Amino acid sequence: MAKIDSKGFRKDLKPFFNQFVLSIPAEEKQSSPFIVNDDETIKKCSTLEELLQQKDDAEVLQTWPGKKRSDVFYFTVKELKDHMKGG
């Protein structure tokens, strides 16, 4: 399966993780789903809990909706886990 071309997607992850992804309890549905590419399938994860069960090297796209525009962020599951550990 093809890798995601990450050019053009936002990668300033710390504010995105803190203010959006981690602000919703892990078992509650996100306002926009995580789109996950794990090299075998492309799937939708609706909760942080589901996302954290994916492979560490799985690529993730998620939209952070704004008032005037929305931004799409690119990250891996490992980057999110590392952030959650404080790294």
pTM of the model: 0.90
The confidence score (pLDDT) of residue 87 equals 61
Mean pLDDT value across residues 20-25: 91
Distance of CA 26 to the CA centre of its chain: 13
28 pLDDT band, cuts 50/70/90, is very high
Q: Pick the more confident residue, 37 or 64.
A: 37
Mean pLDDT value across residues 64-74: 85
Apex 28 CA angle, 27 and 31, nearest 5: 140
Tokens at residue 78, please? 């490992």
Edge-to-edge strand order for the sheet containing 71-76? Answer: 42-47, 29-37, 59-64, 71-76
Q: Is the pLDDT of residue 26 over 80?
A: yes
Domain ranges for the chain, please list them: 13-84
